[in-house]
Each structure stands twice: as structure tokens, then as C-alpha cells.
Structure 1
Amino acid sequence: MTGFVPGGMQQYHLPSPIDPGALAVHATGRLNTMSEILAQATCLRARDLANRATGYGGASFQDVKGDYSGTNRIAAAHRALFALHLDGVNPANLPRIGARPQLRQMLRAPQSRTDLVIRPVNYADQLLENAVSPDIFRLIESTLLRQAPGRPIEKSLLIDSMFRLQQLLHVGFDQAAATYGRRQRERGWTEFRSATPSTPAPLAGVSDREIDKFLDNAFERGGMSIHVAGPTHYGDLPETILGLSQEITDKSIPELSRPGNLDALIDSVDTASKDA
């Protein structure tokens, strides 16, 4: 555990069952974190500290742990889709990075950031990661190859790649939702839709008191106890989460594309690179 890192959450608090504000933080955080990882990797290649992107894997660093003590199993969901590998290793573990502790801390930070989320949100993340990671890795790989080592950083190339990354995320959300829907049907999940107005609804005849009791139990301890059961019991919640996250991501602007932000990151990497 790295503890709180720059750009990530700075206090530990458990999420409410569905908080659009927290979901927005996670969705925009994903876009900005992946853009930062892309920019950092490009800087390393431009400064001859790394050569090329060779693959990706699971998280190597994490700021805080989730909370598994209660019934709702709160997960610490990484904002990064994956840990990028440069020259066969995590960038923070490159041989020439070890002698530059400040730079190593910078490289660890975006990989470490998490948000505390309910399990359906974490499951939706996994669906998205499976759907879009290969395409985003290829985008990062091609961006690095277009950056000449030892030459000034191609800022326009980087910004263009950030917006292409955003477009890939849009497609990935659709693919992830489609995958979840197919898996639910394979598990036997069916959605009730009334064919005619006269067709009774599934809860027809159930008293208000019984419904209230069910909802009280479902939201016991600030979360839905159904979340513990597993994907089969999530209903269409992951699809809803993916749809909301897609809309939030589409309306976002990568922070590094804003005037001055990319220059600041490049300057920070240059300064940390001299700390040897």
C-alpha cells in the first residue's frame, strides 16, 4: 500500500449505495489517470529512460484497502485500467528509475489511485477492463513509437491520443454492457416487461408494508445487501453503471489537454529525471 497519492482520494470514507457524484469522480478519474500514464510513458521514451511499451498487467500499487468487514464488501477500485509495462517491466521498476526516487514516486501515483465503491461498480470496472484494455494498450504502444527518443515531446500527438483514448472508452462501455447482458441471459436472468397494460406486474398484490420491509433490509447499513451475492444478483445495475460512466466520460475533457497542464507534467518529469 502506498497510502494517499497526488491526484487520488485524500480521505477514507465508505461510499453510499449509488452516488452519482462518486461515480463521476471514478469515471473522470479513469480518463485522466490513463491519460497521465500515457503522457508519463511518452516522456520516459523522449528522455531515453524507456524504449517501448511491451505489455500490461494487473495493478502493482494501491493507495488504500477496501472494507470487507461488513456485509457490503466495499472494494478499492483502481482508476487505471491496467499497469503498463515498458521494456518488460512496470515503469516504476525500470533500472534507470530506481536511482531517481522522486520520478519513481510520480510513476507510482497514477497506478495507485483507487476509489471506494460498491461491488457492482467494481464488477462493471472489470467488464470494461476486459473489453477495452487491448485497444488502449495498442494506442499507447503506437503513440510511444511515434515519439522519437531524445527529441522534444510531441505534445499535439499526446493530446490527440488522449481524445482517441476517450473514444475507445466510449466503445468499451458498450462492449462491456453487451457482454454483461449476454452473461446474465446465459445465467437465466430474464427481464419482465409487460406486453399489455392489463398484464399484472411482478409485485402485483404485494402490500406496501412488505415492499417497505424489503427495501429496509436491502439498504441495511448504508448499502444494498444484495451486492454481496454476486453478479447474477446484480440485475441490470452494472449496465446502468456502465451507461452512466459512459455519459460522464463522454462529457469530460482530459485534464492534461487543458492549457498548461501537459507542460507542467513534462516539467515535473524533467525535474525528477535529474534527481539521480
Structure 2
Amino acid sequence: MILQIKHRAELFFINTDPVLEYSTALPPHVIPVGGLHIDDAKPLFHPWNETIEAATKGNIIVSLGNLANPAGMKPKQARSMLKALSRLSDYHIYWSVGPKLRLSDINEKDVPKHISLMAYVPQNDLLAQKRTRLLITNGGISSILEALTHGVPIVGIPLFGANKHNLNKVVHKGFGVLVEKHQLTEETLFSAIKEILNNPWYEKRAKSIKKLWQHSKRTRLADAIRWIEYVAGKHASKLSKSMVPNRSLVHLTNIDVFGISVLLLIFPLFFSYTAFLVIHFKRLQCGKK
């Protein structure tokens, strides 16, 4: 049922943007609308405004996604993250840890004052603050697009699914670094964070991409509305649809062409080997006589 709906769809809206993606060609009925979920940033009042201004060097956001519950992290990983973040006392850190407001095997007393464990973090609004220096994320596409919107560099810790693919694009574009989950220690995380904070290249790159992103984002909603009206009207976009869904696996993968090519290579070798065996056998027979 789902495949039938997918094959019959006239339009596909995808939550990404060419500014972030590798160079690729999309069919005309696949429309990038990345960032439509991002609202205008709202002002932050008590207690947010007080902690934001109190930080000596700025603010850091730690959010590993709605599906990643830091309270369920392995104790070793949670301790490594806490130790690394504890060394950044000149920054105020907002760490979204879920409704339980705790970390695995860590006493609340061990959390320093410059780290705020939050059930919820208004991520987009915090990213819009001029004093926000860094986003630590698992690599969800929505978080990456929000960081792009506000020109904030990223330290990525991919946890599952498309996280690593998304973060590889961030690294490729030059506004973030990646720490593998299985390599997550106090030192690897702290080193990645300091690389971003101490190297102005990442912030400059993030601000540069922000300008490109904002220019393209202005047209996204208009593009989506225009295409919806086009399809909903008397014009059908069938001519612009890819023929891929209607083709078999054989056609899509060119298995038939590959198979014939392999056979053309194998047959001469097979006949040559057979001829060699026949000649060799006859020589053996002649030798016996």
C-alpha cells in the first residue's frame, strides 16, 4: 500500500536544501523545502536571559534528539560527556536530557553549576542568540537546518539511522566536526569542542553558509505552494516524474547488460580452456602409443 502511494505521488517534498547537500540532480517533482518547520525565533525571558548573559564566553547547546534519551546512555558515555563539558566553565551549557532530568549513574551533585540539565530546550530560540557558540547534536536533519539558519557550528555525535550521513555533509561543508559514538571519550569530545571554539574558521564558514541558506529559504514556501497549485490544477506533472518507480529491478540495476558482458568474457576463456584440455589429452594419448 505504501509503495503504491509512493509510486503514484505527483510530488515529493524533502526536508533538505541544496546548500547542505552534495552536488546531485533531482527529478523536477522532487522539491527541497528544508527549513519550513523553523519558526521565527522568540525572545527568551527569565530564567533563560539571566543565564545567557551570565556566561563569560557564551552558550553551548547539547541536544541528542527526541529519540535519544541521555538518561538511558551507557554510564561510561554519560560520564565522558559530563567530564568534557565540566571543563568548559566559561560557557553556560544547556543539556536536554529528557523528562527524568538525570543522567545514567550520575549524581545531580556532580553536575557543575554552569551545566543546566533540562527536560526541554527551546533549541531554535537559543540558537538565535548572539552568544550561542556551538550546537552538540546527534545529527538530526532538523537540528542541522536550525543551526544553518542561525550560523552556529556543530559538533556531531551520530547515534543511529541517517545521523552519520547528515553529519558527514556538515563536515564536508566545513562548519562542524564529528565524533564517532564508539570513540566518545572525555578527551575526544573535549578536543572536538575546543577545535570549534578556538578555530574561527568554523564560525566564519557557518555564517557564510547561513547567508546562502537564508537566500534560498525565502523561496521554499513559495516553491511548495506553486507546485501544489500546479498539481492540484488542470496541469498534471506526470511528464516530470521519474520513470524509476515503473521499472523492474533488472532495468534499474542493468543486471541483463552486466550478465551478458560477463558471459562474453567467460565463454572465450571456457572454450580456450576446453581446447587446451582436449589438445593436452590427445598428446598424452599419442605419448602412450
Tell me the TM-score normalised to structure 2 length: 0.24
Structure number with the higher strand fraction is 2
TM-score by length of 1: 0.25
Higher RCO (CA-CA < 8 Å; seq separation 6+):
1
Bigger Cα Rg: 2
